[in-house]
Amino acid sequence: MPELPEVETVRRTLNTLVAGRTIARVQVTLPRIIQRPDDSRHFEAMLVGHTIERVERRGKFLRILLDGLTLVSHLRMEGRYGVYEAGEAVEPHTHVVFAFTDGTELRYKDVRQFGTMHLFLPGEELTAPPLNKLGIEPLSEAFTAEALRALLGRRSSRLKPLLLNQAYVTGLGNIYVDEALFLAGLHPERTADSLRKAEWERLHEAIVATLARAVEAGGSSIKSYVNGQGEMGMFQHSLAVYGRQQQACPSCGESIVKTVVVGRGTHLCLRCQPLKRSRKPSRTASAGGRRSAKKTGSAGE
Ligand SMILES: [Zn+2]
């Protein structure tokens, strides 16, 4: 499942490849990908003659801005875009083809068929499903440690499901939640209301750093990636804990553990991310001091 960094990489790539191109024809061969309007024939007809101006992103959704229309696209599990010459053979699982007036085509391929497309009048997309319920963008200026704490700090739920919930912070999925919690030294099952101010600051910093690093890695790999088949999509960034169960923690050397939290595979280092009991932050300088000393000790080993 692509998360914010992968979608951001697709966005940038699409922006360089299709901005300025005008749609001559659209062909939908799997109508249920098209969620809005109801009739995929209507979708095909509406787009003809429109020019793609630029591609933006909201959470894990692409916003393809045309002159007079906005196409919202979610890749879900396996959705991929590729740019081809019109004569090139159409690969299996290609469900939507946008043919441009210059003889090239943007093709949408989706083996799992879970992807979605919604078409709106400009601006309308932000006040209607699926974008209207999305939370704060973690790479925006509005996302601060204080904003994160204000959003989640009073909740008694565990950190992992809260961070996966797109209504609070949008764009994080299973991979980058595990990575950010590791970087912050926080157990995924800590309850949000047990975190102290310094821990919110660490978590905020870890989320931004994890995503920014992955976006940068994706950005630097765009060129070689697109050269392959003109296809853009997923690639694995270097990860510290996700998918690395039973391997050594890059920070302390302890074995990384895989467990299940709210039904999701969850990777962590029990030494770097100890599970502490929920406690009200009523007192105390000494507890805080002990905690940070312990943290420093384990991280430094
Ligand atoms: Zn560790």
Cis bond leading into 5, ω under 30°?
no
93 is in an annotated binding site: yes
Kindly name the residue from 11, 21, 60, 202 that is annotated as catalytic. Answer: 60
Class of CATH domain 4-127: alpha beta
291 is in an annotated binding site: no
CA–CA distances in Å: residue 135 to residues 120, 126, 131, 249: 20, 12, 9, 32
Question: Nearest to residue 68, comparing CAs of 32, 23, 8?
Answer: 23
Q: Please report, rounded to a whole number, the percentage of residues in the chain having pLDDT higher than 70.
A: 85
Q: State the distance from the centre of ligand 1 to the C-alpha of 267, rounded, in angstroms.
A: 11
**Cα of 41 vs its chain's centroid, Å:** 30
Q: State the distance from the centre of ligand 1 to the C-alpha of 9, rounded, in angstroms.
A: 30
Q: State the distance from the centre of ligand 1 to the C-alpha of 257, rounded, in angstroms.
A: 10
Q: What is the pLDDT of residue 230?
A: 47
**Is 54 an active-site residue?**
no
Q: How far apart are CA 268 and CA 285, in angstroms?
A: 28
Question: Using N-to-C axis directions, what is the helix angle for 197-229 and 145-152, rounded to 10°?
Answer: 110
244 is in an annotated binding site: no
Tell how strand 79-85 and strand 231-232 pair up: antiparallel
Alpha helices in 19-83 (DSSP H): 40-47
pLDDT tens, residue by residue, 122-167:
999 999 999 999 999 999 999 999 999 999 999 999 999 999 999 9
Contact 242, 179 (CB under 8 A): yes
Q: How far apart are CA 252 and CA 87, in angstroms?
A: 54
Phi and psi at 269, nearest 5°, equal -110, 115
Half-sphere exposure of 61 (CA within 13 A, CB side): 24
**Is 264 an active-site residue?**
yes
Q: State the distance from the centre of ligand 1 to the C-alpha of 153, rounded, in angstroms.
A: 25
Q: How far apart are CA 81 and CA 91, in angstroms?
A: 12
Contact 47, 23 (CB under 8 A): yes
Kindly name the residue from 54, 76, 258, 264 that is annotated as catalytic. Answer: 264
Q: What is the pLDDT of residue 5?
A: 87
pLDDT tens, residue by residue, 262-278:
999 999 999 999 997 54
Topology of domain 145-274 in CATH is: Helicase, Ruva Protein; domain 3 (1.10.8)
pLDDT tens, residue by residue, 176-233:
999 999 999 999 999 999 999 999 999 999 999 999 988 887 755 443 334 334 444 4
Question: Using N-to-C axis directions, what is the helix angle for 197-229 and 174-184, rounded to 10°?
Answer: 140
Q: What is the pLDDT of residue 96?
A: 98
Q: How far apart are CA 106 and CA 120, in angstroms?
A: 19
- Domain ranges, ordered by start, for the chain: 4-127, 145-274
DSSP character for 252?
T
Q: State the distance from the centre of ligand 1 to the C-alpha of 179, rounded, in angstroms.
A: 12
**Is 60 an active-site residue?**
yes
Q: State the distance from the centre of ligand 1 to the C-alpha of 158, rounded, in angstroms.
A: 20
Kindly name the residue from 3, 6, 125, 179 that is annotated as catalytic. Answer: 3
Q: State the distance from the centre of ligand 1 to the C-alpha of 246, rounded, in angstroms.
A: 12
**Is 2 an active-site residue?**
yes
Residue appearing with tokens 């319920």: 133
Torsion of CA 126, 127, 131, 137, to 10 degrees: 60
Q: How confident is the model at residue 237 (pLDDT cuts 50, 70, 90)?
A: low
